[in-house]
Amino acid sequence: MRERFQDLKPLLDIGSDGVRMIGILGMGGCGKTTLASSVYMDISKHFQGHCFIENVREKTRWYGLKSVQKEILTALFKKKTEAIRYDGYSYDHDHDHSSHFSEIVSKMKKLRLLSKAVCCDSDANASGPNFLSNELRYIHWESYPASPFPQSFQLMKLVVLKLWGSMQKEVWKGYKQLPCLKVLQLKYMWELLNTPDLEGLHRLQKLTLSSCKELEEIHQSLGNHKYLEYVSVSECPKLRMFPDIIHMENLKTLEIKDCFLKDGEIPSGIGELSNLEELSLCGNDFSRLDFHISQLTRLKVLNLSNCVKLLELPELPSNSSILKADYCNSLTTVGDCHINCRQLCNVSLMGGGIINDGGKLLQSMLKGNVIDNGPILLRLKGLDVLKEFTPLLRGRRCRLQLPENWGNDHCGFLICAVLPNYFHWGDPERIIIRHVTSGMDFEDDVVWEESDGDGDKHTFVYYISFASMRDAIWWGKTYKALEFNIEDYRCCGFGVRLVSKRSRNAQTETSTYSSGYTSRLEIVDNLESALTVSLSFDDKLP
């Protein structure tokens, strides 16, 4: 064993940069673990943090890799770090749990990680900690008392600060240096009137303000942050104006949701955020955007849902992938929002006004660059798209007669389903495709009529490319007819047609920028006689 130890130790090259991995091979019982343990005991003194984990393969197999990661982190924290975490639910009003927790925290002089995630009512009379460690890197404190942070708390090493349900009226006074803070999250701050001065947060990357019902003003210093990548402001009904954000050149995600902002109150500087990828302005009261977003060439996701006064959609940038404008009651047209967009693959205009020009939107999507691989989804209230399908059949099944050379002259199937207003459109759709043998007739098919079904009608259109099905056992270009079934029993009208290559190649342009968004088509059942596919469309980027 000693000889093996002496051979192994130099291979580790202690003191060199980077990571070194050494494998010890041998039959069971030959002393591999003993050798590794001996080396660990000898070299651990050279490292600030260290731990020895046995039986990694078995633990990973039975409990998963995360359990091993947790064991490593727990061991490291116990050796070098003070940490406290309290999770639970407290409705015991006879005991002041918040003050007791503050007393415990006040005694931890080297505390680096603090997490208090407990559901309880904020007590205005509860006392906060009289001391917080200046070594703190992470704070997540739910129901922090109304008292301010201790004056001795410098926050100089703090990286993450999350305050939920606090009764504080201000987080800190005036200018404060937090040179390491990257994440600031303020949620359910019932008494917060203004955000703190953010000027000293030079490395701030992510800011979240949510359900701050009394918040009236966001400090103007927000607009000076060049490192911010994510800003989310939601459910702050008293917020009337947003600071100038024109200098936030690295911002990728901006959400201003459910704040009921009116015309002129949405920051016009959004149109200058050249790196913006996701923009959500849902739940506001503006009728139109008074700035242009068409020049935001990296914008992929636009969400305007629940803007009940919205009259028109803005012109989309060329690389937009996702457009959502659900429950926009005043919206009845898509206009020319899509005219220059060549990456659009997921559009949802559900639950609001009846869209009377959905057909031209569908045609524009089919001429885009994403059609080669697909899939594509269009969801909207109204029946204008149905003229693309002749005939549409009653029920949730239809058959498609295939022309000669269909697999070479066409690029995919376009599937249409009519569904009621109460349909839950977040669920993946499953569609079964079967080969129809010769001799089967189509006489039992009944043409769908607008009177079929109950309530408001919504149209769902799915595009499935041939390329996405070429690896299926079922796939074959020699078929003469196919039968399609949608599994949702609420479907009252159903139709399928082929998409011609010639009709879309004439206007397709080559894109120099990838949208980064990919819809998912999963082959659930891959049989010789039938193919079942599941279509799912996220409203966020991966």
In this structure, what DSSP letter does residue 48 have?
A: S
Q: Is the pLDDT of residue 29 over 90?
A: no
Contact 142, 190 (CB under 8 A): no
Residues 6+ apart with CB under 8 A from 403: 409, 498
Tell me the average pLDDT across 49-64.
Answer: 74
CATH code at position 248 = 3.80.10.10
With beta carbons less than 8 A apart as the criterion, state whether 265 and 243 touch: no
Q: Residue 93: its pLDDT value, please?
A: 44
Q: Which amino acid is at 214?
A: E
84-93, 123-132, 513-522: least confident range: 84-93
C-alpha torsion 220→265→336→538, nearest 10: 70
Q: Note whether 292 and 271 are within 8 A (CB).
A: yes
- What mean pLDDT is predicted for residues 31-36? 80
Say what the pLDDT of residue 257 is: 96
Q: Which amino acid is at 320?
A: S
> For 195-203, what is the mean pLDDT?
91
Q: What is the mean pLDDT of residues 148-177?
A: 90
- Closest by CA to 212, choosing from 230, 197, 196, is 196
Q: How many C-beta atoms lie closer than 10 Å to residue 532's C-beta?
A: 18
User: Residue 86 has what pLDDT?
Assistant: 63
Contact 221, 244 (CB under 8 A): no
Asked if residues 432 and 518 have their Cβ atoms less than 8 Å apart, the reply is no
Q: Can you tell me the distance from the alpha carbon of 124 to that of 144, in angstroms, rounded to the nearest whole number?
A: 10
The overall average pLDDT reported for the chain is 82
Query: Is 522 domain-assigned?
Result: yes
438: its two tokens: 């010769």
Q: For residue 59, what is the DSSP state?
A: H
Question: Domain for residue 405, yes or no?
Answer: yes
Mean pLDDT across the stretch 443-450? 68
Would you say residue 439 has pLDDT above 70? no
Q: How many domains does the chain have?
A: 2
Domain check: are 349 and 471 in the same one? no
DSSP bridge partners of 493: 394, 418
Residue 434 lies in a domain: yes
Q: Which helix (H) or strand (E) holds 98?
A: helix 97-106
Q: Work out the burial of residue 259: count CB atoms within 10 Å of its CB; fewer than 13 is exposed, 13-18 middle, 19 or more buried.
A: buried
Is 176 contained in some domain? yes
Encode pLDDT of 211-224 as tens digits.
Answer: 999 999 899 999 88
Token readout for 211 is: 């359900």
Angstrom CA distances, 197 to 217, 219, 249, stand at 11, 6, 20
Instruction: Give the pLDDT confidence score for residue 76 in this predicted structure.
Output: 59
- Region 44-62: mean pLDDT is 73
pLDDT in tens, 79-103: 555 677 665 444 444 445 677 778 8
Q: Is 54 exposed, middle or buried (0-12, 13-18, 19+ CB in 10 A)?
A: exposed
Dihedral sign computed on CA atoms, order 67, 72, 75, 77: negative
Burial of 387 (0-12, 13-18, 19+ CB in 10 A): exposed
Last residue of a domain, one of 318, 353, 388: 353
* Structure-token pair, residue 103: 């007393």
Least confident of 50-54, 274-278, 421-425, 481-485: 421-425
Instruction: Say whether both 306 and 425 belong to one domain.
Output: no
Residues 423, 330 share a domain = no
Q: Give the residue among 252, 210, 246, 192 at the shortest CA–CA distance from 228.
A: 252
Q: Are 453 and 345 members of one domain?
A: no
DSSP-derived secondary structure letter, 223: G
Q: Note whether 320 and 456 are same-domain residues.
A: no
Report residue 53 as tokens: 């984990």
What is the Cα–Cα distance from 425 to 28, expressed in whole angstroms? 55
- Roughly how many angstroms between the first and final C-alpha of the chain, as a whole number? 50
Helices (H) and strands (E) in the chain, counts: 8, 22
pLDDT in tens, 269-326: 999 999 999 999 999 999 999 889 999 999 999 999 999 999 999 999 999 999 999 9
Same domain, yes or no: 148 and 237: yes
Q: How far apart are the C-alpha atoms of 399 and 194, rounded to whole Å?
A: 61
Residues 211 and 345 in one domain: yes
Domain boundary among 290, 321, 353: 353
Residue 398 region, left (φ>0) first, then alpha (ψ -120 to 50), else beta? beta
Of 119-123, 219-223, 383-387, where does mean pLDDT reach its minimum?
Answer: 119-123
Query: How far is residue 372's CA from residue 538's CA, in Å, rounded to a whole number?
Result: 19
Looking at per-residue confidence, does 469 or 499 come out higher? 499
Please check whether residues 299 and 188 belong to one and the same domain: yes
One domain for residues 343 and 437: no
The phi-psi region of residue 144 (left if phi > 0; otherwise alpha if psi is between -120 and 50; otherwise beta) is beta
Q: Which two tokens stand for residue 386?
A: 């149905």
pLDDT score, position 426: 57
Q: How far apart are CA 432 and CA 530, in angstroms?
A: 7
Classify residue 48: in a domain, yes or no: no
Q: Final residue of a domain: which of 289, 321, 353?
A: 353
**Residue 114 and residue 136 in contact, taking contact as beta carbons nearer than 8 Å:** yes
| Residue 21 predicted with pLDDT over 50 | yes
Q: What is the spatial distance between Cα 80 and Cα 137, in angstroms, rounded to a whole number?
A: 14
Under 8 Å between Cβ of 82 and 111: yes
Q: 33 phi and psi, to 5 degrees?
A: -65, -40
Which range is least confidently modeled, 282-291, 321-330, 409-418, 420-429?
Answer: 420-429
Residue 535 pLDDT > 80, yes or no?
no
Lowest mean pLDDT among 160-174, 364-378, 509-523: 509-523
Percent of the chain with pLDDT over 90: 32
pLDDT range class, residue 329, cuts 50, 70, 90 = very high
**Mean of pLDDT values over 20-31:** 78
In a shared domain, residues 347 and 419: no
DSSP SS3 for 404 = coil
Give the three-state DSSP class for 65. Answer: helix
Which residue did the predictor score with more confidence, 131 or 123? 131
424-449 average pLDDT score:
69
Residues 333 and 424 grouped into a single domain: no
Q: Note whether 159 and 214 are same-domain residues.
A: yes
In a domain, 12, yes or no: no
At 446 the pLDDT is 76
Which residue segment(s) compose the domain that 183 sits in?
Answer: 72-89+98-353
What's the pLDDT tens digit per position in 234-265? 999 999 878 888 888 899 999 999 999 999 99
Cα 401 to its chain centre, rounded Å, is 40
